[in-house]
Amino acid sequence: MRFYLIGLMMALLCCHPRTNYSQFQGEGLRTDEQFLTEGRDEAAKHCSGCHMVPEPASMTPETANFVLSYMGLFLGIDASGSLHHPMERSQFQTRYTQLKSGGLIPPQPALGRDSWQKLRNYYLALAKKPSREPERGVAPEKIQVPYEFDDQAITLLRRFESDTLAIGGGVKNLLRMFRISGELKWEKKFTSPPVWIENDGDKWYVLTLGDLLGSVNPKQLSELWEIGPRGERRLLTGLPRSSHFEFVKKGGVRKFFISSFGGLGNGKFSCFTFEGDVPREKILSRRDSHVRSRIISGDGPLRVLSLAAGAREQLILYTETNEGFSEKILAEYPPHTGSVWIDLADVDGDGREEILVLSGDNADSGPWNEIKEDQGLRIYGLSENAAVLKKFIPIPGALSFHILPTIAGKFHIAIARFYAPNESLSDIVVLKHKKDFVFERKDFRIDSRATVLSSVSRNGVRNLIVGAGNTPKFEIVGGSVTRRDFSGDLLTEFALH
Ligand code: HEC
């Protein structure tokens, strides 16, 4: 028995080494404990300045290799010689040009060659094995969409109670307002993609993104428009790249909380107050990559949640005080999380809303969009200004979600997977609320690359509407690059029962 146990332990030790890899692209990797520990210490020292220190097991070697070349730039290290694929080289080149022109590459390396080698070895030797997600998307029964909209990418989709569906496009910068039945109410063309819209009586407020993809010299082209019976006008111009706003009116004073993603240090989260026509800006945060916010309803001081992505990914609570706003970090995520969307819903029916946070953006980890299991939907309870994680549902590669109320107290959460794993063919995930934090999951294949979602009712049936942007998606599967092309429609509609 003893021998058996010793044998088992030895088998475990020899067959489950701490390292996953002893070489990468022909480059030998060291797997001895001491060298790995030194590498970990270098990472703790040099990779902690701008975000949480990533775990090596959060990346495959291919992604680690790309990310290290990219991040090396921030440390004055040129490690791009290890990037061989043209797509890697071209994405790296774009990043290099951006960082160079932003003056973000230090002239002297922050660490010596040996230290860099240890750090690089640590990430490559302990990198994860690629994850797989088997095919799971079933084709829904699509319904003919009655909305005429010709673009290549949908950037905005939102239904209002006033029999209105707003659809915005990212290439033609067009906003069209439809009746649910399909009749066009009005439209307007902007200078950049419309990304969010709010309604205020007979007025509409529309936010435009500025640059679609972010440019080398981040311009401040994002705008907030007011459109109403008395005409249309710009309320705000010259905003850094902005993706979303929340609107509230208190005592006749209009407040807009604008999430400015920005780029290269000009991002911010601001509250603009209008008394009459004159805007007054209160900057709540001066960091990049605020993506979306939500005002928590209720009496007492105004409370706003902001979701920040980019490097230091955080869920932040701002509370209005006499002096301005106080800030409380509720949660922090590693930099590959790709936080994208936030909303509130009373999930457990206790009369208090939970916070729903979605992550899955995969654009900055290189061209391969690998599967990251810790991306997905997190549901938090909020008590005493602290967030308590109640539920995590892994949905790697998600970009946005939409809550569809169904029967009393129940709802579906539909999730658009812009970065759905190629093999899975799971473009949309629908979480059907059963009770408390229990959901039943269904995956749908629509052959469109889903960006944003909304829903409409037709004859008492709730239909999901999916907007898309059909660029091909690349992935490394079994060592070679695979490509998925999308032939589905720009807008897809199907019933959710
Ligand atoms: C000077 C600031 C800075 C330092 C130092 C830094 N990073 Fe980053 N890191 C960033 C920024 C900014 C981003 C977001 C990049 C983007 O959005 O394109 C990021 C993103 C990342 C990501 C996520 C990529 C993705 O989107 O999947 C990883 C992983 C990462 N860094 C690893 C590292 C490692 C490893 C080191 C140390 C070698 C490091 N970083 C050092 C600024 C930094």
Are the CB atoms for 193 and 212 separated by under 8 Å? yes
Question: What pLDDT, on a 0 to 100 scale, did the predictor assign at position 364?
Answer: 86
In the predicted model, is pLDDT for residue 155 greater than 90? yes
Q: What is the arithmetic mean of pLDDT over 328-338?
A: 97
Instruction: Write down the mean pLDDT value for the chain.
Output: 92
Are the CB atoms for 225 and 236 separated by under 8 Å? no
Are the CB atoms for 391 and 380 separated by under 8 Å? no
Distances (CA, A) of 184 to 124, 147, 180, 207: 54, 8, 9, 20
Question: What pLDDT, on a 0 to 100 scale, did the predictor assign at position 415?
Answer: 98
**Ligand 1 centroid vs 71 CA: distance in angstroms?**
5
Question: What pLDDT, on a 0 to 100 scale, did the predictor assign at position 69?
Answer: 97
Instruction: Tell which atom from ligand 1 comes closest to the C-alpha of 72.
Output: 38
Question: What pLDDT, on a 0 to 100 scale, did the predictor assign at position 13?
Answer: 42
Question: What pLDDT, on a 0 to 100 scale, did the predictor assign at position 40?
Answer: 97
* Substitution site in 55, 63, 74, 372 for ligand 1 pocket (most atoms within 8 Å of beta carbon): 74
Q: What is the arithmetic mean of pLDDT over 427-454?
A: 97
Return the residue whose CA atom lies nearest to atom 19 of ligand 1: 311
**Ligand 1 centroid vs 52 CA: distance in angstroms?**
9
pTM above 0.85, yes or no: yes
Of 405, 415, 344, 404, which is closest to residue 376 (Cα–Cα)? Answer: 415
Q: For 99-132, write each residue's pLDDT tens digit.
A: 998 899 999 999 999 999 999 999 999 999 999 9
Distances (CA, A) of 97 to 90, 135, 212, 463: 11, 38, 18, 44
Q: What is the arithmetic mean of pLDDT over 26-54?
A: 96
Q: How far is residue 39's CA from residue 119's CA, in Å, rounded to a whole number?
A: 4
Helix axes 33-46 and 113-125, enclosed angle (nearest 10): 110
Q: How far is residue 165's CA from residue 265's CA, in Å, rounded to a whole number?
A: 35
Measured from CB, residues less than 6 Å from any atom of ligand 1 are: 43, 46-47, 49-51, 54, 67, 71, 74-75, 119, 310-311, 335-336, 338, 364-365
**Ligand 1 centroid vs 222 CA: distance in angstroms?**
26
Instruction: Tell which atom from ligand 1 comes closest to the C-alpha of 288.
Output: 12
Q: For 389-405, write each residue's pLDDT tens digit.
A: 999 999 999 999 999 98
Q: For 234-254, write each residue's pLDDT tens digit.
A: 999 999 999 999 999 988 889
**Ligand 1 centroid vs 16 CA: distance in angstroms?**
29
- Band of pLDDT at residue 299, cut at 50, 70 and 90: confident
Return the residue whose CA atom lies nearest to atom 17 of ligand 1: 310
Phi-psi region of 452 (alpha: psi -120 to 50; beta: other; left: phi over 0): beta
- Band of pLDDT at residue 475, cut at 50, 70 and 90: very high
367 phi/psi in degrees, rounded to 5: -80, 0
Please give the full DSSP string across 362-392, using - where no structure is assigned.
Answer: -TTS-TT----TT-EEEEEEEETTEEEEEEE
Instruction: Tell which atom from ligand 1 comes closest to the C-alpha of 46.
Output: 37
Token match 């209002």: residue? 160
In the predicted model, is pLDDT for residue 16 greater than 60? no
**Ligand 1 centroid vs 81 CA: distance in angstroms?**
19
Return the residue whose CA atom lies nearest to atom 43 of ligand 1: 50
Question: What pLDDT, on a 0 to 100 scale, did the predictor assign at position 64?
Answer: 97
Return the residue whose CA atom lies nearest to atom 21 of ligand 1: 335
Return the residue whose CA atom lies nearest to atom 12 of ligand 1: 311
Instruction: Tell which atom from ligand 1 comes closest to the C-alpha of 47.
Output: 37
In the predicted model, is pLDDT for residue 15 greater than 50? no
**Ligand 1 centroid vs 378 CA: distance in angstroms?**
22
Question: What pLDDT, on a 0 to 100 scale, did the predictor assign at position 266?
Answer: 87
**Ligand 1 centroid vs 289 CA: distance in angstroms?**
13
